[in-house]
């Protein structure tokens, strides 16, 4: 349920950009390919935001969802691993508008440590725990090789990080109170090929 709230928030912002001030569960459902009943159920769990027959006031609902998701404040983020993927993450412009600011970057390679990338100096992973504690950073993005992932996760947990977005192709262990979200594009593609097995190849 909570994982769908960002989808609603994005759709509402798109509707607001399109010049709309009010949205119905039907219009949200069409945009998100979901049933209006599911949308009403999800939003109703967190409060009464709409009026029957009128729909949802878009600016009001955006503000409410941002508060529920904790997006009414800026969240400092640490990046661990500044290889190709890490550099792409550092260069991604979509974090700041949504309240996420990459404040620190770490790597274990001496050739990378000390580089200034997008205004952020890459620090040695050896100093990571102290820096994270001092900066009060509670969110981290991990983009290191699989063999290094668990050790990095352990360091992050020891430093007080409570939410980790893991791009490494492995499923690390972490305490229950630490939220870990694993993102593996290869596994996503593998699940998609299952559905393509029975689909005929279109003629060329």
CATH number at residue 137: 3.40.50.720
For residue 125, the 8-state DSSP code is G
Please state at what angle helix 25-32 crosses helix 5-17, rounded to 10 degrees: 100
Predicted confidence at residue 155, as pLDDT, reads 97
pLDDT of residue 52: 65
pLDDT of residue 156: 97
Helical H segments across the chain, by residue range: 5-17, 25-32, 36-46, 58-68, 84-91, 128-135, 146-158, 185-196
pTM to 2 decimals? 0.84
Asked if residue 134 lies in contact with residue 165, where contact means CB atoms within 8 angstroms, the answer is no
- Domain contains 85: yes
**pLDDT value at position 177?**
95
The pLDDT-based confidence of 115 (bands split at 50, 70, 90) is very high
Comparing 52 with 120, which gets the higher pLDDT?
120
For 35-48, what is each residue's pLDDT tens digit? 989 988 888 888 77
Residues 42 and 138 in one domain: no
Residues in the chain: 204
Query: What number is the average pLDDT over the span 64-79?
Result: 91
Domain holding 25, by residue range, is: 2-68
Pair (47, 16) in one structural domain: yes
| Claim to verify: residue 79 and residue 173 sit in the same structural domain | yes
**Residue 185: its pLDDT value, please?**
84
Q: Are residues 12 and 113 in the same domain?
A: no
The torsion angle over the Cα atoms of residues 33, 187, 180 and 111, rounded to 10 degrees, is: -130
Report the relative pairing of strands 139-142 and 75-80 from DSSP bridges: parallel
In-domain check, residue 94: yes
The predicted pLDDT at position 186 comes to 84
Shared domain for 63 and 96, answered yes or no, is no
């Amino acid at each position: 349920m909570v994982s769908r709230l960002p989808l609603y928030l994005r759709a509402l912002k798109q509707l607001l950009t399109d010049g709309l001030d009010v949205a119905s569960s039907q219009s949200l459902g069409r945009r998100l390919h979901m049933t209006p009943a599911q949308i009403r159920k999800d939003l109703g769990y967190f409060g009464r935001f709409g009026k029957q027959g009128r729909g949802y006031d878009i600016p009001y609902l955006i503000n409410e969802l941002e508060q529920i998701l904790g997006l009414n404040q800026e969240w400092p983020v640490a990046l661990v691993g500044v290889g190709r993927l890490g550099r792409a993450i550092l260069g991604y412009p979509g974090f700041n508008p949504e309240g996420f600011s990459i404040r620190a970057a770490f790597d274990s390679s001496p050739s990378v440590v000390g580089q200034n990338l997008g205004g952020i100096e890459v620090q040695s992973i050896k100093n990571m725990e102290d820096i994270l504690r001092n900066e009060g950073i509670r969110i981290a993005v991990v983009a290191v090789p699989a063999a290094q992932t668990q050790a990095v996760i352990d360091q992050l947990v020891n430093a007080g990080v409570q939410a980790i977005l893991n791009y490494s192709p492995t499923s690390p262990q972490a305490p229950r109170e630490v939220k870990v979200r694993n993102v593996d594009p290869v596994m996503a593609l593998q699940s998609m090929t299952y559905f393509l097995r029975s689909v005929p190849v279109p003629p060329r």
